[in-house]
Structure 1
Amino acid sequence: MNLLGKKVLITGADGFIGSHLVEQLIEEGAQVKAFVYYNSFNSWGWLDSLSKDKLDQIEIFAGDIRDPNGVRTAMAGCDIVFHLAALIAIPFSYHSPDSYIDTNVKGTLNIVQAAKDLGVERVLVTSTSEVYGTAQYIPIDEKHPRQPQSPYSASKIGADCIAESFYRSFDLPLTIVRPFNTYGPRQSARAVIPTIITQLLNGMESIKLGDIIPTRDLLFVQDTARGFIEIAKSEKLIGHDCNIATNSEISVGDLAQELIKQINPSAKIVTDEQRMRPEKSEVFRLFGSNEKILENTNWKQSYTLSQGLAETIEWFKNPDNLKQYKANIYNI
């Protein structure tokens, strides 16, 4: 599928990955409609940081993914839907699981139901590597068992199943896109890389972390956004789920030491008990297979980990960006 001139809706466009995807879709020549979370401040999230030239090319729709009427209104006339809107923080899901069901499961149902009724040409539903839980084998391919190790991952498994059922029941042209551990500029403060970088750039000598043993498959956000686009172009992946991964892993401890080396070599890691997940909930190993996306699309990884971390650090060094993060508290 050629995206040039296509009317494209991105839910979660105000968020981390969504805002980068918006920029890349503009470059593809798509007509971009950005679904942002309605709020009384009229904030468009990270889209507010884009240039006027880019904003002039975007149609903004403020709504709530939990509202089926608003979703249907936003999707009317759209050819393609990239559904990224979700609640994502794992610790927050421990004490507010109801909100994850409402947003992630029911929100996805609203998307696929409207897409079926409106005859949308293509739907991409965003999953997460967390649905796999701790690796039973590596690299983790799309056939790996699902393990709901947190209310968040359970809600995303539920959303995936809803989406898959609409492909099987109604032949909805849909793909489940499963990014692994995306990082980069604009990432939420609750993620490990912003947590480390912001503490270091604020001059802290003791870097507070939870468990540093788990491994993650880290993908720079520009590569993740490009993965969404290349999957959308591929007719071969309709009815499939597809990882976006690097086929590699690094431990949280080694990652932290690399960032410490680049920013403040005298800093030390200290364990903060409140940041530790319950043992049975912690995902200890993520190492994703990218064989499927490589075989069925033109996607390839463009950024090495060192290149991506360097760009991320530079972005956080901008005082206007750094001041938006509260490095002195535990962001859940």
Structure 2
Amino acid sequence: MRVLVTGGAGFIGSHYVRQAVGGAYPSLADAEVVVLDLLTYAGNRANLDPVADSPRLRFVQGDICDAELVSSLMAGTDLVVHFAAESHVDRSIAGSAEFIRTNVLGTQTLLQAALDADVRKFVHVSTDEVYGSIEVGSWPETHPLEPNSPYSASKASSDLIARSYYRTHGLPVCVTRCSNNYGPYQFPEKVIPLFTTNLLDGKKVPLYGDGLNVRDWLHVDDHCHGIQLVADGGRPGEVYNIGGGTELTNRELTSLLLEATGADESMVQPVIDRKAHDRRYSVDITKISTELGYAPRVPFETGLAETVAWYRDNRAWWEPLRARAGV
């Protein structure tokens, strides 16, 4: 069996690859895992170091928009797990062209190549941000898509293209939509690694607006476990929400990070709110729980403590990234 993992040197994709090569997913025990990653600023070969010597792992540096390369890699592939994406909201607000190119055109390029190669399963990894913002309750998978940022709009577009390849061509595609991920190896522009590394360096943390925006937090290991459940048993053409079950305001999250790093409220710097900042995200995970037996397994308190400890112990990983990206 061969698995093609796009964006497999990024935060979530590399965790999936490390788990797959390391034997965490029984259905992939003997699979060849091919990683396709362009190694943009958020991609990092070092994320794959723990499994780099495995004879089952092959790394290819390349662009998912390169139809010739994608077609060559897709030949003989049984499963595609598509993580590759531009994913930072602030960057999409500053300039959206690369988001449209990678997230929309790149996804279409992969889908067409998968169709041509008769791939048996294609899992398109998306985000809860495509739903917009919700004041109360939680979104089921049938909720209309109402994205509010260029990033989430590009992901919603790619979701619909993926759906069309199932409806039009019968390509066995599943879409997953996750809540906010956290864990080790996350690029230090996202809130948990950014705030953690700032505090470890004695720098203030920038808290948007009133700090009352609410997010549901999902450990990357739970997310990847959910993705593999969908890869193994998800029904083609279906969407599956994957959530963590821990909702916090950004202010509450900041307080936990201050406590974990031994800092106090003086290290919080309020900043002007992000444009079109969604107030609350919350996904209903009834479908994946009922159909596939998913449940988050990492308690947030444990996961957050382990994540902060990882950043404390791995300065050699994140310091060069921050310097290079100017974060």
TM-score relative to the length of structure 1: 0.90
Deviation, 1:183, is 0.7
Indicate yes or no: 2:49 matched with 1:49. yes
Distance 1:262 1:248, change over 3 A: closer
Q: Is the Cα contact below 8 Å between 1:246 and 1:289 reproduced in 2?
A: no
Distance 1:108 1:223, change over 3 A: same
CA RMSD of aligned residues (A): 2.1
Deviation, 1:50, is 2.3
Structure 2 CA distance for aligned equivalents of residues 125 and 200 of structure 1: 35
Other-structure match for 2:271: 272
| Matching residue within 3, 17, 25 for 2:12 | 17
| Matching residue within 297, 305, 313 for 1:310 | 305
Paired residues for 1:120-135 under 5 Å: 120-135=119-134
Q: How many residues align?
A: 317
Q: Where does the alignment leave 5 or more consecutive residues of structure 2 unmatched?
A: none
Other-structure match for 1:100: 99
Indicate yes or no: 2:327 matched with 1:326. no
Other-structure match for 2:90: 91
Q: Is the Cα contact below 8 Å between 1:174 and 1:239 reproduced in 2?
A: yes
Q: Is the Cα contact below 8 Å between 1:20 and 1:225 reproduced in 2?
A: yes
For 1:275-316, what per-residue CA distance to the aligned partner results, in whole angstroms no more than 9, with x for missing partners? Answer: x211xx111101211111101113221101111101111110
Percent of paired sites with the same residue: 33
Deviation, 1:131, is 0.3
Q: Where does the alignment leave 5 or more consecutive residues of structure 1 unmatched?
A: 1-5
Other-structure match for 1:191: 190
For 1:116-140, what per-residue CA distance to the aligned partner results, in whole angstroms no more than 9, with x for missing partners? Answer: 1110000001111110111154122
Other-structure match for 2:227: 228
For 1:207-238, what per-residue CA distance to the aligned partner results, in whole angstroms no more than 9, with x for missing partners? Answer: 22223110001000111111111111114x21
The worse-fitting range, judged by mean Cα deviation, of 63-72 and 315-324 is 315-324
Aligned-partner residue type, residue 231 of structure 1 = V
Deviation, 1:320, is 1.6
Q: Is the Cα contact below 8 Å between 1:248 and 1:288 reproduced in 2?
A: no
Other-structure match for 2:280: 285
Q: Is the Cα contact below 8 Å between 2:132 and 2:145 reproduced in 1?
A: yes
Structure 2 CA distance for aligned equivalents of residues 60 and 207 of structure 1: 36
Paired residues for 1:163-178 under 5 Å: 163-178=162-177
Deviation, 1:241, is 0.7
Structure 2 CA distance for aligned equivalents of residues 259 and 38 of structure 1: 29
Name the SS of the counterpart of 1:127 in structure 2.
Answer: strand
Other-structure match for 2:236: 238
Paired residues for 1:58-69 under 5 Å: 58-69=57-68
Deviation, 1:100, is 1.0
Name the SS of the counterpart of 2:223 in structure 1.
Answer: helix
Deviation, 1:79, is 0.2
Q: Is the Cα contact below 8 Å between 2:216 and 2:245 reproduced in 1?
A: yes
Other-structure match for 1:31: 32
Structure 2 CA distance for aligned equivalents of residues 96 and 214 of structure 1: 23
